[in-house]
Structure 1
């Protein structure tokens, strides 16, 4: 075989080997590319399955489901209720403040200059009317006590002498002049005793204390600072050993079983409020609780600066949850059954509590149960609203069970899940 023929066969063999290697390489790449294609198909299938779990569809193919533990459900204090069709409650929402009632608070002050000898109570202690909150020692009281005892003794002596002179005059033993002098001395002594009695009353002693003083010559200058009412000690301003002047505040006692909630209404709002009207309100310290009181007084004067009228609401506080000084948000139920234009009864609407509707992104959603401890967000469209309620215009029908309390917790959980998905991409 000549060299030219050998060269031809060698080149042919090289070309065949090159084609085989190229074909093998294309198969391997296809295999590697094929795997992701299969995964994408499976992922699409998975997405479809997930989408099938969201029956209330707000227009998206994927609906989140929030799964909570039983402990989380209890902690969130979730409550559900059925959607109802009714008239939308109308009301006024105004800021307010909690304070003592006028008769339910008393400041106990030093009645005379002296020294605070002792404090007999502690903050928060329940006390009875007349109970000693502390004791003061007062030289002025000591002088008033001494003057009273001296005047009382003189009066007793003068009275005995006058009685004796009358008897002697009746028997002709004593003259009329002597009897009249004894009578005059008795009247003068009575006047002095009455003046001393008045000074004791002026420093705050009661009739019972003065009577006790009359029968006890050793009554000291130490006297009590009594509580003027049944209540709770809410302030102790004095310090043992402190020198005080008359009218120096020492204690504050308050009856906290009933409080006032004060609010200021504009002139335009005044027509919606009447005495005896119920008022609901909340305080930031207890957002889950709603308190109810009644309008007790509507002011007679308009504040010239703010152009508002003061309204006073009385509210029971038997458990002591409310504290004077708290800020509140009051919701006053007004003419809920009448349209604003006076055109008769309001139309029936699909209505939910405002708390049930949460804003997620740019959408308004409610949460519906989706099994045990499972909840789905449902996008809704809202309409008219009031201080308490909001109208639902779409996606939900009367009788549907929705979360009416604790929806904010579910919104937070939904946000956590969304953030988690974002980090995983």
Structure 2
């Protein structure tokens, strides 16, 4: 009996000891929990103060930022964790402007424009810190990575606004030196003096002889009037002499209206012999480009018998695009070369810029004029045309590859040193020669801009901006993180 009592006491002691140990462990765990206190960091932070919640992004779409692992909603690829420190310098790189708008009560609701959230609360702006004009977060990259990426930079410099426009021209006739030959009467061609196209003619050269009843009767009227004046030369009635002279003048004017030359009229006055045919002469010098008449043919006033074009000066038509129009002005020198005469250059000038746009091709037609004394330039030819332009002023210039055109804005990356690159929104002017472009504002002379690797920097900048938006704390989160004082009951204990 005594042995059983001793064993019972020993078992009781063991059980009491185990219970004490368990109770002590529980009390210690609770004390440690109370001493650590709740976490008052930003929403989503589960560690100590200063820790940042793990974010996940898509390798193909860096603007996709999620707080939990999963798939990209765009391409359905697995999201990958964002490296620690990816948010570094986000705030330091933003310009002092509204970067986005967020809801004061819904932490995950952000917008790129003002408005209201689903609960009807007005969105509040989130400003970037004060600083220089920027288009996004500053990108910080290790110098070794920069070298491996092949990032190259150039200086923003000031240069003259010069450019060269190269286009294709089409040689055409000078419309102001083209003449048509027709008659003002019906008749028949008796003889052709110029019977082929391409023949050169001078002003006053005989083209053809024509018989026309109207022309024949006009000669008769003039000769009769002249003879009446001669008969009344010694008449005692001056009124009759004056009337005869008036008839003679009227008959002379009628011959001129029928394109009878002054020399032919003078010969008719001298000989007073009426000719069956009259010769029609060339009204200008040039080349016969069209001939639609044969000997013996019956002609009418509406028939075009010859087309004569003076090719000593030719027009050249070129097309320029809308953005090139500021470079073109009347009087500007133009140089033209033919592909089969590479060692010869023709010099002309701009004579007219047409005031309308070709709707289908979206180009503006420009007319040039060139001297052509040797007739080397022939209508219908195509030639290379070059316009050298100097606007007579200087401006900041950068290479065309130094900016990214997103369709809505142009962004250049400025090298801030130490592996930092700041995106800067720039406004561009006219395109220059040698691949340069004018900078209206956004950059300063002497700054260095990136000319290669901008797309990698742009991707990194967009990623940081998305992280900044995703991790922006809401009012609710801030309110939850702020310890609330316990109201006093006013009674002592």
The offset of 1:283, in angstroms, is 5.2
Aligned residue for 2:109?
Answer: none
More helix by share: 1
Q: Which residue of 2 aligns with 1:145?
A: 219
Q: How many residues align?
A: 245
Identify the residue that residue 258 of structure 1 maps to in structure 2.
313
CA contact (8 A) 1:89 1:389 kept: no
Are the equivalent residues in 2 in contact too, given 1:88–1:390 (CA < 8 A)? no
Three-state SS of the structure 1 residue aligned to 2:264 is: helix
Decide whether aligned partners of structure 1 residues 188 and 104 sit closer, same or farther in structure 2, where only a CA change above 3 A counts.
Answer: same
Once the two structures are superposed, what CA deviation does each residue of 1:45-92 show, in whole Å capped at 9, x if it has no partner?
Answer: xxxxxxxxxxxxxxxxxxxxxxxxxxxxxxxxxxxxxxxxxx998333
Q: CA deviation at 1:333?
A: 2.2
User: Contact 1:279/1:292 (CA < 8 Å) preserved in 2?
Assistant: yes
Whether the aligned pair in 1 keeps the contact of 2:312 and 2:375 (CA below 8 Å) is: yes
Change (3 A) 1:329 1:336: farther
Give the alignment partner of residue 297 of structure 2, picking from 227, 242, 246: 242
TM-score (norm 2): 0.44
- The equivalences for 1:120-131 within 5 A come to 120-121=193-194, 122-131=196-205
1:150 CA drift (Å): 1.0
Q: Does 2:409 align with 1:343? A: no
In the other structure, the counterpart of 2:115 is: none
> Are the counterparts in 2 of residues 92 and 387 from structure 1 also a CA contact under 8 Å?
no
Alpha-carbon distance change, 283 to 305 in structure 1, aligned in 2, over 3 angstroms = same
Q: Distance in 2 between matches of 1:104 and 1:197?
A: 29
Q: Separation in 1 of the partners of 2:303 and 2:342? A: 39
Q: Give 1:297 deviation, angstroms.
A: 2.5
If you compute each CA radius of gyration, which structure gives the higher value, 1 or 2? Answer: 2
CA RMSD of aligned residues (A): 3.4
TM-score by length of 1: 0.50
CA drift at 1:289: 5.4
Q: Which residue of 2 aligns with 1:99?
A: 172
1:320-331 paired onto structure 2 within 5 Å: 320-331=375-386
Q: In the TM superposition, what whole-angstrom CA distance separates every residue of 1:275-332 from its partner, at most 9, and x where no partner exists?
A: 2222233556767755332112234x32584665442211122221211233444332
Which residue number in structure 2 is paired with residue 269 of structure 1?
Answer: 324
- Decide which moves more: 305-314 or 141-150: 305-314
Quick one: structure 1 residues 304 and 252, their matched pair in 2 at CA, closer, same or farther if it must change by over 3 Å? closer
| Equivalent residue runs for 1:191-270 within 5 Å | 191-270=246-325
Structure number with the bigger relative contact order (C-alpha 8 A, sep ≥ 6) is 1
1:337-367 Cα deviation digits (max 9, x unpaired): 978xx326x89xxxxxxxxxxxxxxxxxxxx
